[in-house]
Every structure is written in C-alpha cells, then in structure tokens.
Amino acid sequence: MDKLLVSLLLVIMVLLVLLFSMFFLLVFYRMEEVKSKKKIKEYIEDRKGDWYEYLLGEGMRIEDLKPNGSLELKAIDELFFRLSYHFTSDEINERINAFAALYMSDYYNKDLSSRSSGVRINTLNKISLYNLTFMLEPVSKILRKKKVYPKAEYLLLYEIIIKFSRTDFVAHFIHPKVTLGEFDYKKLLLELDETQISLLAEDFTVLPDMLKLTLIEIVGVRHYLDWLPLLHECLDSPAQELRIRALKSIAELEVADALKLYEGFSYSDVWEERLMTAKIFRSAPTEEALPVLKHLIKDSTYPVRAQAAKSMKSLKNGQQALYSVITTSSDEFAVDVAEEMFGKE
Amino acid sequence: MKTQNSELNMLDASLFRQLFYWQMANTKRFRQVFTVVFVKSPESPEIKEILLEQIRNSDLLFNFPTGEPDVILMANTGEEEADVFIDRLRGTETTRSYRVGVSVIEIRNGDATLEEILQVGNDSVNRALQLPGNTPYVKDRTFRKLERQCVRVSIIDEDPIVTMVIQKLVERVYIKQLDLDIRVFHDGQYFIESDWYQSSHTHLVIVNDILPRKNGLEVLYTLRELPNAQKYHVFMMTKRKSEAEMIFAYENGVDDYITKPFNPHLFESQIKKVLNRIYYG
Amino acid sequence: MNLPEITSSFFAFVGYILLVYMLAVIFSYTSMLIIAFNQLGKERKLQKDLSDEGAVDFIYTQPVTVIVPAYNEQEGVLGNIYSLLALQYPEFEILVVNDGSTDNTEDIVIEHFNMRPIRKVVNQQIETQPIETIYQSDMHPNLLLITKVNGGKADALNVGINVSKYPYFCSIDGDSILDRTSLLRVMKPIMESNKEVIATGGNVRIANGYEIQMGQVVKEGLPGSTIVMMQIVEYMRAFLMGRMALSKYNLVLIISGAFSVFSKKWVLQVGGYAKNTVGEDMELVVKLHEEISDRKEDKEIVFTPDPVCWTEAPDNFKDLRTQRRRWHQGLAESLWLHKKMVFNPKYGSVGMISIPYFLFIELLGPLIELAGYAYIVLSLFMGEVYMIFAGILGLLFILYGSLFSMASVLLEAWSRNTYPKVEDLFRLVMLSLTEVFWYRPLTLVWRAEGIIRALRGKREWGSIQRRGLSEDSE
C-alpha cells in the first residue's frame, strides 16, 4: 500500500512538472504569435494604400511590392483574403494572379503539400477564392496521387478543377474518389456554367442518382428553360424523389404550358407533389388554375393549403377568388389560410 | 389693355429684394435659371413706359429711383431668350432720340447675393453705355457658372480595408462643381450617434447590411424617419440575401443593392451616375 | 467477528469500491481527453473563415428559425436580439417568445424594434398554452415577438416551433449572445452531412469579463470573480472531456439548450419539448436518439466545438447553487423518463455506452465522490492503516479534479485562443489546481440536492439574478 501511495505521488509530481513545462512552452509560442500578428497588422496598415494602387489604380509596379520574408507573405495572403471577400473584377484577379505566380508560388506549393490537412484545406480554399489559376497543375497532380485524402479535400479539389478547367470535371463526376452526397453535388454544380451543365446533362441516364436529383434542381434554380423536356420526362419516373424535384423545378421555371401534365399530381398521394403542383399553378392562367387550387386549398396538409392560397392570390383576379373562398367555403382550414393571406397585406 | 398689364408688371424697387430671393431659392433647389436685365438711359431717365411695352407678361419691371438703372426680372429665362427683348427694344430706336444701355445677366449660380448682382449690374450697364450705337448692350456672365455644391458621403463597413478602397474609389470620381465630403464609420451605432448625417446636404450612404451593433437596416430606418429622407441615396452592400429581404429593403429606402464581392469599377460608375443625377437633376 | 472488526472490514470494502470507481472514472476521462486532443490537433490550423465564404454564398443553405424563449429577460434580451440581427446567414427569422414575463421584456422589445401586431395563422402542431399576440418589427421584417400565457421554457419553445416557418430551428437562451458566424457554423455539419445530422449543439462559453456592447464582443478578458473563473475552467473541462469525444461516436446526450439547432421534422415527430421536466433540452436529445433507433435510421446528433454562444454565468453561490441543482435534476429526470434505454442493445451504442455513462458517472458520480470525501475525513479517525488508503484516494482526487482541469485549460489554450493574455492563462492554470479543494465538493453537494429534488418531483423555474451581458444604448 505504501508503495502505491508513493508511486502515485510520483506520478502526480511528474504530471505536474510536465503540465507546467507545457504551460511555459505554450506561453513562449503565444508570445511569438502575438508578435507576428502585430507585424502582419502593421504591414497591412502601412501598405494597403500601395496595394490599392497596384490592384485598382495605376501608380504601383509589381516589383515595388516584392515581399520580404515569410511574415510579409502571410500578411499579403491575408490582404488577398479580405480583398477578395469584398471585391472582384478581372483586373484584380489578373493582378493577384500575376503577383502570386511571381512571388508566392513557393509559399502556396509548400502549404499545399503540408502534412497538416488543416493547412492543405486552407490553401485549397485560397486557391479557389483568389482564383489562382496558375495552381491548376499542382492541384491536378494531387488528384492523380494514390494517397487517400479526407473528403473535404476532394470536394475542394473538384471545385477547383471545375472552376479552372472547363471539361475535365465530367469524368471526376461520374466516378468520384469519395462518395458524394446531395450537399456536395449541389455545391459543385453551382460552380458550373450553362455549357458545362449541358455537357453533364447529355449523360443524364448514366449519372449517379443523387447527381440526377441535384441536376434537376439546378435547372430550376438557374431557370434553364431549354431543359423543360427533361423535367417532363422525369415526371414519369418511378422514383418519387425525382418526380418531386422535377415538379419543384418546373414551378421555379414559371411555365404555363403543358398544364395537363401537372394537373394529375394535385391528386397524388404524396403531399410534396401536391404542394409543388399548387406552386406550379401560380403562374398559370386564372381559369385553368382556379379549379386545381380550389381543390388544393382544402388539402389535408397545411403547407399545401398555404401554398394553394398563396398561389391563388398571385393569380390575375386571384384576390377575388380568395375572397370567395372565405365567404363561401365550408372548409374551416381553407378559410383560415385564405384569411391569413389577406392579413399579410 | 396693354396699360392694365403694364401697371401690374411695374413694381416698387423695395419689392425687388424679396422677389429676387424667392427666385434664387428656386435656382438653388430646382436648378431654375433666371435673368436680370439692367436698363439705363442717362439722357432720358423716364424710359419706363417704353420698357413696360416691350416686356413679356411674365417679366417684372422694378421701378428704381431716378439715376439708378431699372431692373427687369425674367423668371425661367436664359440669356438667349432675353435677346428677343433686346431686339424689341432696338425696334423702338425710330421713336426715340436718346440712347438706352442694357445689361443682361443670366443667373445659374445659387450662391449669388443681391448685393453682388446689383453691383455687377450697375457696372456692366455703364460699360454698355460706353459702346457705340443707340441701344448698346452687354451680356455679363459672372453668375452663369454653377455654384459648388457639397455632397456628403458616408461609408459604413467594419473592415478598414473595405472602407479604404471605397473611399479611394469615391475620391476618384470627379465631377466639376461637386465637393465630396467623405467620412468613414465602422459600425452602425457610431454613425447614428454622430450628428454627421443630420444635415441639409445631399447625402450618399454606402452601408453594409451586417454591421456590429446597429445593422444596416436600422441605419436605413433612422434615415427614413428624417424629414428630408429623399436627400439620402443609400447603397446597401450585402453578401447573398434572400429575395424577400431585398424587396423589403428596396421598399424601405435602399436605392441600390451591391452584392459582395462586387466589381469596383462598376461601383465607381454607379456612384458617378448618382452624383451626376444629384447635380444636374 | 466483533463489531469493530465488522466496521473496519466494511470500511475497507467501501474504500476498495471507491478506489475502483475512481480508477474507472480516471480511465474514461483520460481516453476522452486523448480523443479530444487528436480531434483538436487536426482542426487546429484550419482557418474556418476561409470556408465560411463558400457556405454563405451557397444558396442551398437551409433557412433557419431562431427561437428565443424569454421569461423576465429585460436585462439581456436586447443584446441578444442585436447579436442575432448581426448573424451572417442568408435566410433566417427570429422568434422571441415571451413566456408571460412579469417584467418589461415585452414593452422593451416592442418599443425598441418598432413592432406592430400582425395576423398570422399558427399551425398548432404541438399542444401549447395559448398565444396572445404576434408582433412584427417594422425595421427588421424577420424579427417577430410572440406573447403567450406563461407555461415554462419547454412550452415557449414549442410555441416557437409551431409559429416557425423554416425546416430547422435554433433554440437560444434569451440572455446569451451569438458570434457573427455561429449560426452558419452550427448549421454546417447538417448541410455537409447531407442532412444525416438532425441536431447540432454549439459550444457555450462564459462571457463574464468580456466587454460586450449591443450584442457584440468588443474586448476579451477574464472576470475578476473567482467563482466565475472556476466555472470557466469547468466549462472547458466539460467540453474537452466529454462532449468532443462523445460527439465523435454519435453518443451525445446533452447539447446545451442555450444554443442548438434541430431539424423541425424530427422534433415534431417526437412531440416537441417535454413539459414535465426541468431538463427539457437533454430530454429532447435522448428522445431523438430513441426515435432514431426505433425507426432504424442512420441519423446523427453532433456537438460542434467551434460556433460559440456567450452566456452569463452566475457570480454568487446562491445562484450557482440554483443553477446546478436544476441541471442535475434535469439530468436525473431525463434519464428516468428513458430508463428503458439503459443497457438496452436495441438502442445501440447510445443505450450501451452513453446512457450508462451519464447514469453512473455524471448522475451518480457526485454521490460516490461525496462518499469519497467523507471517507477521507473519517479515515483520519480510523487509524494509520486507513490513512494510507485515504492518502491514495486523496491523490486520485487531486489527479482527477485538479490535474485534469489544468490539462483542459492548457489544451484549450493550445487549440484555440479564447483568453489570449498570458496573465489570464496563468490565473486560470493556478485556479484550476485548487478546484478539488473547494469548488468540486461544493458543486457535488448541490448536485446531490438536485437528485433529491428530482426524487421529490419539484418543478419550478428557480430564478437567477441577471445583470445582462450587453451595455445597450439608452
């Protein structure tokens, strides 16, 4: 027992010594950090006017800004971040690229091959944010490596490929190195422009399911009317989620033809489909929309009723129709949502 | 008929001051141009009857004491339109033997004072009389130049780099006759507490929607409640916002939305457009 | 055997049990500390603001309803609302639910934000006390005030859920303050997991000592009060040796009611917040875990260390006692309501690990530890043999109480920079070493009281005096 006591005492003493030395080490690093932070701040304060001249004005040559030492590189890096957060133009882009390619290529390449995944992710974020196109090659090289990276990194790598190279991405999309979810696809697809979307939509049938859903949604968000036939095809799909998304996108497109195709969905068993139908009919001609919406305003699900009321209100002469629901309908819920629409005046 | 009108158009010199300043207020506020004509005839001081016959119904003749030039005030009239009057006055040369000196002063500058104009009028009409001919005239252009106007610009954003860039962009915008008085704020509360925004100046407010302490919408609300709310032109900077929020802000006084990150050159020309409109109406 | 012998062997027996218990606890805490250390090491160098950028731009960012249950919060509510209005988030609404306050909460909010009554049909999905009026701000269309008949915090939250229009809601205490990026970052795990995460909790920090103006942190600092500093150490410890590790394995049972986000769909499925407990926030999480297992779905509840919510800690013993009693009572009640989950393999690792962990270490721990303290005192009268025993136990207490706290403070300082001044850090380190001698036994007693209250079924708000975090205008 005595021995146990003594050894425990010893353990605690050792731990204490260890913790305190850690404390002092920490304090030392902390002080270094404070110093360099101060220097970075000073650099930004001193030179921000010069940087304005270089990026947006005329008066500053690239050589005049040549960085001295790693702290200045860090400061410039921070300056890029803050500037690109607020401003963007081809001119700024070009000049940042020119500067970074000349003086900061080593800085970014070193961080890109850092052992800490945090640092690598930071760098990828920066490449994408400041549009450092000259880094495309090193980035593509990472994707060719056998080494496996965390998912967050792959996402960023793909994002950069999409941004900087117009066609290479399709292959990565069909066979991604990690499983991508809905959020991931959305995030990536949002980077695509219309021709890139078309490139992808050509292979619609072979795309992973999740990508199909996302693509359908993007068509709506971006108002790509050309792809309406594709949406109509999806309405016949056995996959419920795909149908809902297609209806949703059709609603976003605000089209009023092919109404017959949508009408049936107001009797669907799935409330989301009824909801989207209610939304689609807000942009239809009054005489065709009213019967459908009058049916949907009595729906058993609240969001459907509310949407039907909202859609009705946005119709031509919809106010009157809505008013007649309040005065004539025997359905308490319908009256309620209709009244709320008026309350929102 | 004519005499009846004439009597109405002839006013006592004591009224000149009041009517002049009333006209001046319109010049300043609505950029209206008017012209003052000085007429002097040393040989025959009583030319008022002739003048009354030659002026338009909308012109006003002021009856100054003998020896001083008579003054005609032509509202909403530029120097070119006053030529018509001079032509008609020349037409009377056959019916009179004495000389009549005329000085036409077009007024655009809203800062001109009555004393300055009377001084300039007296001097120029005497200058005219030294010219040959029976109806010598001069056009004095001292007051044709627009006055300098001061526009206040407030830049409200948290990041000093942003305010620096915007300030430099605004400073770069150069519009003749416009003085820009720029001030930078780093939070909404500080802006609202300052009395800087409460002035009769035209005011450009460039404000971020998210700010420490009072945010952009609250700044907007404060400005909207001011009696001279239409004097403020508000640019609101934002990261992506929902449609509903943007509509709300437009309906409540935001004039332009600027989505970050934005193109500084486009922004510069937007500012320029707004300033031009402020100045030239 | 005579009586003294029986007593002494019983005494020895109890001693061994305590010893084994302490070793088990120390073992579990050490492993959690190591997990946290690993996790933080990975994220230490990650600059979060770089990726915020992408998230803000992302139009698919889910809109969120922020619900602020407020009961007599006139001191703090303005600062709270100002901090919410400054949130960097594309689309959200703020619902302040005034739970029949008896002070000026309602008038202050109405006056300050120019609120007008509006008509709104409420989809009564959870049974609640009736709503009196709904107001909307003239300045900020996304700010609503709901006044209702008093019904307790859970009821107020349920009203908020009924009124809310977005698919996710964030509950936040009326006296706390959010960082500008907090909502964005607390939502990130939900989006990035492709909605596999149905609830997340943020990190709650103590703001006493910070200078805060109109909902914004102006200056960092450490408070002068020792009790508050001790709580700061305690929060760091709870976060590093508990939530971080549990979260990694989807074992989280407590995400603080002061700041957490839930998927509305799931909360509605389990009927909203329970009104029959003072620990409605924990109860909801347990209930969600139960629902996940019942439906055999693969959903997660996570704790996110980064997004910070600042709250005001009680700065006197009386209020601290009330708070701790309440927390512990809540813990006891939540576990009691879901007792069928204990060691029930049907509930997977939650039933097999986290519920037992909370039951034996978090809930009953205080009783055993108190027994430990008593044991040490008693052994002074029991002769030399027991003194050594007591010594060992005492050292284990020091290891467990003070050294772990100190390690937490250091780990915290290493991974993030909450208290940047060296002097502040030193004060925290020194104070953490004293924990085991005074603060720990005190809180143990209060927790034990909480258990007793839970057994007797007492339920009341237990009022805590508040000063308000923010210096507001006027």
The answer to whether residues B54 and B171 belong to one domain is no
Query: Taking CB atoms and an 8 Å limit, are A52 and B165 in contact across chains?
Result: yes
Specify the pLDDT at position B235. Answer: 93
Average pLDDT, integer, range C84-96: 90
Tell me, yes or no, if C86 comes closer than 8 A to chain B by beta carbon.
Answer: yes
Average pLDDT, integer, range B110-122: 86
Phi-psi region of B253 (alpha: psi -120 to 50; beta: other; left: phi over 0): left
Collect all residues with Cβ–Cβ distance below 8 Å to B194 and sequence separation of at least 6.
B185
| Chain A adjacent subunits, 3+ CB pairs under 8 A | B, C
Confidence at B2, pLDDT banded by 50, 70, 90: very low
Alpha carbons A336 and C121: distance in angstroms, whole number: 7
The interface residues of chain C toward chain B in range 106-165, judged by CB-CB distance below 8 A, are 114, 138-142
Q: Give contacts of C426 with chain A, Cβ < 8 Å.
A: 23, 27
How many residues does this entry show for chain B? 281
Top pLDDT among C229 and B249 is at C229
Q: Is residue C203 classed as helix, strand or coil in its secondary structure?
A: strand
Specify the pLDDT at position C461. Answer: 47
Specify the pLDDT at position B3. Answer: 44
Alpha carbons C178 and C172: distance in angstroms, whole number: 9
Specify the pLDDT at position A321. Answer: 83
Query: Taking CB atoms and an 8 Å limit, are B264 and A84 in contact across chains?
Result: no
Average pLDDT, integer, range A133-159: 88
The answer to whether residues B27 and B50 belong to one domain is yes
Which chain C residue is nearest to residue B241, measuring alpha carbons?
C90
Query: Taking CB atoms and an 8 Å limit, are B264 and A52 in contact across chains?
Result: no
Helices C3-43 & C384-398 angle (0-180, nearest 10): 20
Q: Give contacts of A179 with chain C, Cβ < 8 Å.
A: none
CA distances from B44 to B50, B67, B69, B128 (A): 11, 10, 12, 16
Q: Which of A147-156, A193-202, B147-156, C62-71 has the highest mean pLDDT?
A: C62-71
Confidence at A263, pLDDT banded by 50, 70, 90: confident
Tell me, yes or no, if C468 comes closer than 8 A to chain B by beta carbon.
Answer: no
Task: Please report, for the domain that includes residue B119, its CATH number.
Answer: 3.30.70.270
Q: Give contacts of A85 with chain B, Cβ < 8 Å.
A: 260-261
Specify the pLDDT at position A237. Answer: 87
**What is the span of the domain harbouring residue B133?**
2-140
Name the domain boundary from B140, B157, B173: B140
Mean pLDDT of chain B: 84
Half-sphere exposure (Cβ direction) of C227: Cα atoms closer than 13 Å: 12
Chain A interface residues facing chain B, Cβ-Cβ under 8 Å? 44, 48-49, 52, 56-57, 79, 82-89, 91-92
Name the domain boundary from B92, B119, B140: B140
Alpha carbons B43 and B135: distance in angstroms, whole number: 13
Confidence at C471, pLDDT banded by 50, 70, 90: low
Alpha carbons A245 and A235: distance in angstroms, whole number: 9
Average pLDDT, integer, range B117-146: 87
Alpha carbons B79 and C460: distance in angstroms, whole number: 86
Query: What ipTM, to 2 d.p.?
Result: 0.81
Average pLDDT, integer, range B202-207: 90
Computed over its alpha carbons, how large is the radius of gyration of chain A? Answer: 30
Specify the pLDDT at position C252. Answer: 85
Q: Which of A311-315, B63-67, B93-97 has the highest mean pLDDT?
A: A311-315
Least confident stretch, A333-342, B54-63, B111-120: A333-342
pLDDT digits over C388-431, tens only?
A: 888 888 888 888 888 999 999 999 888 877 777 888 889 999 99
Residue C470 has pLDDT above 70, yes or no: no
Stated pTM of the model: 0.80
The answer to whether residues B133 and B172 belong to one domain is no
Alpha carbons C181 and C195: distance in angstroms, whole number: 20
Q: Nearest CB to B221: which of C56, C139, C473?
A: C139
The answer to whether residues B97 and B181 belong to one domain is no
Mutate which: A3, A8, A32, A182, vs C, most C CBs within 10 A: A8
Which chain A residue is nearest to residue C386, measuring alpha carbons?
A1
**Around Cβ C463, how many Cβ atoms within 10 Å?**
10
- One-letter amino acid at B127 equals R
Alpha carbons A7 and C396: distance in angstroms, whole number: 12
Confidence at B230, pLDDT banded by 50, 70, 90: confident
Which chain C residue is nearest to residue B222, measuring alpha carbons?
C139
CB contact at 8 A, C217 and C310: yes
Query: Taking CB atoms and an 8 Å limit, are B165 and A87 in contact across chains?
Result: yes
CA distances from B90 to A240, B82, B83, C456 (A): 92, 13, 10, 113
Specify the pLDDT at position B76. Answer: 85
Does the domain at residues C47-360 carry the CATH identifier 2.70.180.20? no
CB contact at 8 A, B100 and B51: no
β-pairing, B34-40 vs B60-63, is unpaired
Which chain A residue is nearest to residue B262, measuring alpha carbons?
A87
Q: Is residue B233 classed as helix, strand or coil in its secondary structure?
A: strand
Confidence at A343, pLDDT banded by 50, 70, 90: low
**Structure tokens belonging to residue B261:** 């990150």
Q: Is residue C457 classed as helix, strand or coil in its secondary structure?
A: coil
β-pairing, C168-172 vs C64-70, is parallel
Q: Which of B34-48, C26-40, C54-68, C156-170 has the highest mean pLDDT?
A: C156-170
**Around Cβ C59, how many Cβ atoms within 10 Å?**
11
CA A316 remoteness from chain centre:
36
Which chain B residue is nearest to residue C473, measuring alpha carbons?
B189
Q: Nearest CB to A86: which of B168, B261, B266?
A: B261
Alpha helices by DSSP H, chain B:
2-9, 16-30, 48-54, 79-91, 114-129, 160-172, 188-193, 216-224, 243-251, 264-280
Residue C98 has pLDDT above 50, yes or no: yes
Residue B73 has pLDDT above 70, yes or no: yes
Residue C163 has pLDDT above 90, yes or no: yes
| Chain C adjacent subunits, 3+ CB pairs under 8 A | A, B
Alpha carbons A166 and A133: distance in angstroms, whole number: 12
Task: Please report, for the domain that includes residue B262, its CATH number.
Answer: 3.40.50.2300
Specify the pLDDT at position C469. Answer: 60
Name the domain boundary from B113, B140, B167: B140
Alpha helices by DSSP H, chain A:
2-55, 69-86, 90-99, 105-112, 117-129, 136-144, 151-164, 169-174, 182-189, 194-201, 209-221, 228-235, 240-253, 259-263, 271-280, 286-296, 302-314, 318-328, 332-343
Alpha carbons A187 and C59: distance in angstroms, whole number: 9
Residue A57 has pLDDT above 90, yes or no: no
Q: Which of C74-83, C162-171, C246-255 has the highest mean pLDDT?
A: C162-171
Q: Is residue C45 classed as helix, strand or coil in its secondary structure?
A: coil
Average pLDDT, integer, range A62-87: 90
Confidence at B95, pLDDT banded by 50, 70, 90: confident
Please count the structural domains in chain B.
2
**Chains B, C: CB pairs < 8 Å:** 50
**Structure tokens belonging to residue C37:** 């250390």
Chain B interface residues facing chain A, Cβ-Cβ under 8 Å? 159-162, 164-165, 168-169, 237, 260-266
pLDDT digits over B24-57, tens only?
A: 888 877 777 889 999 988 877 667 778 888 888 8
Q: Give contacts of C192 with chain A, Cβ < 8 Å.
A: 183-184
The answer to whether residues B131 and B154 belong to one domain is no
Average pLDDT, integer, range B86-96: 85
Tell me, yes or no, if C392 comes closer than 8 A to chain A by beta carbon.
Answer: yes
The answer to whether residues B102 and B158 belong to one domain is no
Q: Is residue C311 classed as helix, strand or coil in its secondary structure?
A: strand
Q: Give contacts of C216 with chain B, Cβ < 8 Å.
A: 187, 212-213
Residue A100 has pLDDT above 90, yes or no: yes
The answer to whether residues B163 and B222 belong to one domain is yes
Tell me, yes or no, if C337 comes closer than 8 A to chain A by beta carbon.
Answer: no
β-pairing, B232-238 vs B202-208, is parallel
Q: Give contacts of C429 with chain A, Cβ < 8 Å.
A: 23
Top pLDDT among B198 and B147 is at B198
Q: Which residue, C156, C149, C119, is CA-closest to C135? A: C119
Chain B interface residues facing chain C, Cβ-Cβ under 8 Å? 187, 189, 210-215, 217-218, 220-221, 239-242, 244-245, 248
